[in-house]
Amino acid sequence: KAGVTQTPRYLIKTRGQQVTLSCSPISGHRSVSWYQQTPGQGLQFLFEYFSETQRNKGNFPGRFSGRQFSNSRSEMNVSTLELGDSALYLCASSFFGTGNTEAFFGQGTRLTVV
C-alpha cells in the first residue's frame, strides 16, 4: 500500500511569508501527527489530528497551525516565518494515534527560511 506522502519535498521562503505543508496518510489511518526536526532540538511534537479534531498540541507559538480534512489528509500552516523555522517537517500517520499503534512517517518537507 502507498506510504505517507508529504508535499512539497522542499521549500524556500523568505522571512515574514507564510507556508502550507500537506500530508496524505496511509489509507485507513485516521491519525496524523506533525513533528519539527532540527539539528539542535531533534524531533519536536507540533500537533496531532484524529477525525478532523486536534487532540494534542505541542509547545509551539500560535503561528503554527494545522487542520485535517474528512479524507484524513492534513495540512499545517506557518505564518510570519522566522529564520528559526527552518527545519524538516515530518508527519506520521497511524490508526489511532502514535502513542498506541505503529506510526509511519513521511519523507518530510524541508523548509528553508531566508
Q: What is the 3-state secondary structure (H, E, C) of the chain?
A: CCCCEEECCEEEECCCCCEEEEEECCCCCCEEEEEEEECCCEEEEEEEEECCEEEEECCCCCCEEEEECCCCCEEEEECCCCHHHCEEEEEEEECCCCCCCCCEECCCEEEEEC
CB 19 within 8 A of CB 13: yes
Q: How far is the CB of 76 from another protein (least distance, A)?
A: 15
Contact call for residue 51 and another protein (CB under 8 A): no
Q: How far is the CB of 9 from another protein (least distance, A)?
A: 9
Among 24, 26, 33, 66, binds another protein (CB under 8 A): 33
Q: How far is the CB of 37 from another protein (least distance, A)?
A: 9
Contact call for residue 53 and another protein (CB under 8 A): no
Touching another protein, residues 61-80 (CB under 8 A): none
Which residues form the interface with another protein (CB under 8 A)? 4, 6, 31, 33, 35, 42-43, 45, 48, 50, 55-56, 58, 90, 92, 96-100, 102-108
